[in-house]
Amino acid sequence: MVSTAFAGIADFERSLIVERTSAGRIPAKARGVRFGPSPALSAAQIENARKLIKDEEKPVAEVARLLGVHRATLCRALADAPAEA
């Protein structure tokens, strides 16, 4: 019976934590806070990679190795970042 009471208290506490976290996340997003990991490549690195691949015809795997990221990370960054004209 005691363990059931503790389980109920723990469940209630968990719901309070979720509620407080959600309430704090909304103002943070309004202030411009970005959640999640930092981008692996800067905009300058992405543009440099795009130039190496298109102009110098280097393979994506080689450019990724030069930048120190996985090939999939480079491909995703190239797809997500707008190309500068």
The model's pLDDT over 18-63, given as tens digits with 9 standing for 90+, comes to: 999 999 999 999 999 989 998 899 999 999 999 999 999 999 999 9
User: DSSP class of residue 38?
Assistant: P
One domain, residues 4 and 23? yes
Structural domain span for residue 71: 43-80
Q: Name the token pair of 25.
A: 């996340």
- Residue 6 CA, distance from chain mean position: 37
Question: pTM of the full predicted structure?
Answer: 0.59
Query: What is the total count of domains within the chain?
Result: 2
The Cα–Cα gap between 12 and 6 comes to: 10
Kindly state the percentage of the chain with pLDDT values over 70. Answer: 98
Residue 3, pLDDT > 60, answer: yes
Residue 85, pLDDT > 80, answer: no
One domain, residues 2 and 23? yes
Q: What's the one-letter identity of residue 69? A: V
One domain, residues 22 and 48? no
